[in-house]
């Protein structure tokens, strides 16, 4: 159980969401406090990914990329490598199991009544 807590309110004006992070030592808590940036909840950090009545679908494309440390997934058009493993409802995929250049296309859609 976490002994030291760090609570942060979303910096977006009017938002009442909070982040509650726990740390087992004071040293870990201090490190987190020194390295933290302004906290934005998921709703405000990536608003284009949030599905709602105005935004009913989203497509995310990742590309299997080889680096000196192995194969990883990265968001198409971005430089930053992500994980070597991706998963979600209905799929599991390791980058090491597919050829370099393979595209993982994940589509999310909600259907309103």
pLDDT, tens only, 17-67: 999 999 999 999 999 898 888 999 999 998 988 999 999 999 999 999 999
- Rounded-to-integer distance, Cα 66 and Cα 31, Å: 32
Would the pLDDT of 89 be above 80?
yes
Would the pLDDT of 82 be above 90?
no
pLDDT, tens only, 91-110: 999 999 999 999 999 999 99
Burial class for 60, CB neighbours closer than 10 Å (0-12, 13-18, 19+): middle
- 107: closest CA among 60, 68, 66, 47? 60
- Rounded-to-integer distance, Cα 74 and Cα 87, Å: 14
Which stretches within the chain are classed as H helix? 26-35, 42-45
pLDDT score of 101: 96
The DSSP bridge partners found for residue 57 are: 109
């Amino acid at each position: 159980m976490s002994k030291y807590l760090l609570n942060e309110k979303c910096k977006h004006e009017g938002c009442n969401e909070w982040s509650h992070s726990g740390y087992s030592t004071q040293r870990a808590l201090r490190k987190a406090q020194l390295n933290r940036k302004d906290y934005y909840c998921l709703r405000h950090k990536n608003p284009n990914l949030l599905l709602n009545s105005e935004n009913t679908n989203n497509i995310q494309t990742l590309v299997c990329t080889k680096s000196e440390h192995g194969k990883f997934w990265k968001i198409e058009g971005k430089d930053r490598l992500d994980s070597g493993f991706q998963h979600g409802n209905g799929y599991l995929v390791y980058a090491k199991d597919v050829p370099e250049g393979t595209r993982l296309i994940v589509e999310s859609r909600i259907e309103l009544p």
